[in-house]
Amino acid sequence: MAKEEVPYPSIDTPALLVDMDKLEENIREMTQVATDAGVRLRPHIKVHESSEIAKMQIEAGACGIEVGPIGMAEAMAEGGINDILVAHPGFYGRHKYEMLKKLLSKPGFKLIIVVDMFDQAENISQAGQEVGKKVPLLIKIDTNTNATGIPRYGVLPGEPALKLAKKLRQLPGIEFIGIYGHEIGGTEGPAKMAFKTASQITETAKLLRREGFKIEHVSTGASPEFRHTCRYIKEGKFPEITEIHPGSCVLGDISYLTMGGNLSLDTCVASVLVTVMSTSYQDWVVIDTGYKTFGSAEVKALKTWKGWPPAGVVKGRPDLFFGFVCAETTMVYYTDPKKRNLSIGDRLEIIPNNEIIVSNTKDQMYGVRNGKVERVFQVNARGRGV
C-alpha cells in the first residue's frame, strides 16, 4: 500500500486530468488576445475533443469552433455546438456525404467548409442543392510551401487561388465567402512564420477583392503563431484578417511548448494520472500505462537521458525521467540515486509530449481544482472521423 494519502482516490488510473484554474486562465487569455486585436476567435477543438470545453470557449467569447473531419463536426453538433468550420475537405463516400447533408439540414446550424479542389466543391454543391441551402466555402491557401513550413494541402497563394475562386463562382448550392490559411511547422520561429503567412493570405484576399469577389472571411493563426498574428493586426499590418483558429494553446503540452507557443510547464493544463505498479528494480519503477495512452510522439528538443528521448515530463519531479515506453507500461527512472523514494501504489502526474494523442484515447477528462475532482468532461468527439 502507498505510504501517503492517494491523490484523487475516486479516479482509477491511467486518467486524464485537467487543471480547472489553468484551463479557465488559458481560455480567458486566448479570448482576450483575439478581442484586443479585433478579430474573431474560432478555436480548433482537436486538442480536447469535448463539446463541454468547446462551450466554455464559446461562452468566453469564441464565435464558434473549428474541427478537422466531418465526423467530429457531427459529434460537436450532437453536443450542442451550432457554428462549426470543417477544415478537412473529405466528403467522399456515401456515409460522409449523408453526414454532410444531415448537418446542412439542421435548423439554426451554421457549417463552413474548407476546400482546395473544384472536385470537392462539386460534391458539396450537390449536397447543398439537395437540401436547398447554399453552403459557405473557404479556399485553403497553402502558405506553408513559401513560408518554410510543411506543405500539406491547399492552393498556392495568388493566381492559383484566384483561378479556383473563379471556377467556384459557377457552382450552384455553394457560396464562396473567403480564404483560410494554417501555419504548420517552419524553421524561422513563430513570429516570422506568422508574418509570412499573414502576408500571403492578405495579399491573396486583396487580389480576390480586386477581381470582384466579396471576401468576408480571412483566417489564419495557428497555436504557436496566433499571439504574433494578433500583435501584427493590432499594429495595423494585416487589417484583412477577420478570424484566428488556434487550438493547442488551450491545454498545452510539451510539443507546443517546444514549438515556441509562449508557454511554460506551469501553464500546461492536462496531465495523466498514473500509478506505480512495480518497484522490483532499484534504478526505476514501472507505471500502469504506456504508448496506448501517450503514443510514440518524440520531442527532439527535449534533453535525452542515456540516449532515450523522454515521452513526457513528470510533474513536480525533475529527478525522474519518464523514459522507456511499452504498450501498457512505462519505466520511470531515478536520475538522482539519493531520491529513490517511490513505492507500489504511489501516484505521479505526467505532462504528455502530445496531449492530442492522449485525449483521443480517453472517454473522460477529470476537471480538478485544489486537489479535488470538480467536474468530469466527456470526450464525446474522440475517434469520430479519425
What are the residue boundaries of the structural domains of the chain, listed by start?
Answer: 20-249, 263-378
Type of residue numbered 312 = G
For every one of its 386 residues, what pLDDT tens digit does the chain have, with 9 covering 90 and above?
Answer: 334 577 898 899 999 999 999 999 999 999 999 999 999 999 999 999 999 999 999 999 999 999 999 999 999 999 999 999 999 987 778 899 999 999 999 999 999 999 999 999 999 999 999 999 999 999 999 987 654 456 778 999 999 999 999 999 999 999 999 999 988 766 678 899 899 999 999 999 999 999 999 999 999 988 888 999 999 999 999 999 999 999 988 998 888 877 766 567 888 999 999 999 999 999 999 999 999 998 876 665 566 677 666 778 999 999 999 888 889 999 999 998 888 999 999 999 999 988 999 999 999 999 999 999 999 999 999 998 77
Using alpha carbons, select from 28, 67, 69 the residue that is nearest to residue 250: 28
Choose among 305, 279, 291: nearest CA to 354: 291
Instruction: Give CATH for domain 20-249.
Output: 3.20.20.10
The grid cell for 56 is 466554455
**CATH number of the 263-378 domain:** 2.40.37.20
Contacts of 5 (CB under 8 A, 6+ apart): none
d(CA 194, CA 182): 10
Cα–Cα distance measured from residue 324 to residue 301, given in angstroms and rounded to the nearest whole number: 17
Note whether 20-249 and 263-378 share their fold.
no
3-state secondary structure of 202: helix
Report d(CA 114, CA 178) in Å as an integer.
9
